[in-house]
Structure 1
Amino acid sequence: MKIFRNIAALVVGWLAGSAVNMSLVTIGPMLIPLPDGVNPQDMEAYAEISATLGDEHFIFPFLAHALGTLVGATVAYLIAATSKNLFAWIVGAFFLLGGIMVNYMIPGPLWFTVADLVLAYIPMAFLGIKIGEAIQR
């Protein structure tokens, strides 16, 4: 049973974090519109125009990455039967790897890349652990 819960912690943590991430990525262009004719679902087109976007267009991607990681790590911590911290860190590492890939595929301004890779993943996994500890007290 512990093995099943630990596997579920990874899967459900990743799915919950991904749902938050995708929700914010979807909502972002509704609140901060992209230039006319840009489809945010077309990664190639988005990558081509990313250098022309204003700083405001990177707020929701940052929030998506940070809050997705936070939720994913917290959920993993809460579900895991053993080594709760480890499973939260693993989920955080998965999101970090995804963030590295996205920043490579869709290059943004340097400030965004640095803030995203330094602040959105490992610190949020740590915060997710702290939230999980507080909930389980």
Structure 2
Amino acid sequence: MNTILRNLLAIVAGVVIGSIVNMIFITISSSIIPPPDGADVTTTEGLKASMHMFEPKHFIFPFLAHAIGTLVGACITTWLVKGKKLSFAFIIALFFLAGGVASVFMLPSPLWYTVIDLTIAYIPMAYLGGKLGLKLKSQKN
């Protein structure tokens, strides 16, 4: 397969699979840590209106969704690209980071969460995912 096509498909796979992992965490979050009474977490408007009721525990699963989704996406991409190129993991990081920044503008999250989420959940997790992808790739060969 053409190297450019393979690498593009690896990026798409990383974004799609990372997004699926992200949504799994978001979907199961309210069954593990229930939202505050009266909070509507099914819509963006409901989240905006009830965000003031959220406690720190309510931010655990959104952070895990962002971090693990990025980690898995970066790992898959690095594992699939042609050659040993960690830089492709950072393409995935930028994609998910853009989503995180958009989320900051759409939802009024506390400053402490915004700082932790934007500094830890994307670039560092992509680096770790990329390293894991390289390790998996070297074991495959």
TM interval, shorter chain, is: over 0.9
CA–CA distance in structure 2, aligned partners of residues 84 and 37 of structure 1: 48
- Tell me how many residue pairs correspond in the alignment: 137
Return the TM-score normalized by structure 1. Answer: 0.94
CA–CA distance in structure 1, aligned partners of residues 13 and 135 of structure 2: 20
Alpha carbons of 1:136 and 1:82: their partners in 2 closer, same or farther (altered >3 Å)? Answer: closer
Alpha carbons of 1:21 and 1:73: their partners in 2 closer, same or farther (altered >3 Å)? Answer: same
* Contact 2:84 2:134 (C-alpha < 8 Å) held by counterparts: no
Aligned to 2:42: 41
Aligned to 2:23: 22
Post-superposition Cα deviations, 1:83-127, rounded to whole Å, max 9, x if no partner, equal 632221101110001001112211211111010000000000110
Identical pairs, percent: 46
SS in 2 for 1:103: helix
CA–CA distance in structure 2, aligned partners of residues 109 and 11 of structure 1: 32
CA–CA distance in structure 1, aligned partners of residues 23 and 49 of structure 2: 21
**Gaps spanning 5+ residues in structure 2: where?**
none
Aligned to 2:57: 56
SS in 2 for 1:13: helix
**Gaps spanning 5+ residues in structure 1: where?**
none
Return the TM-score normalized by structure 2. Answer: 0.91
1:106 aligns with 2:117: no
* Contact 2:86 2:134 (C-alpha < 8 Å) held by counterparts: no
Instruction: Output aligned runs, 1:1-137, within 5 Å.
Output: 1-82=2-83, 84-137=85-138
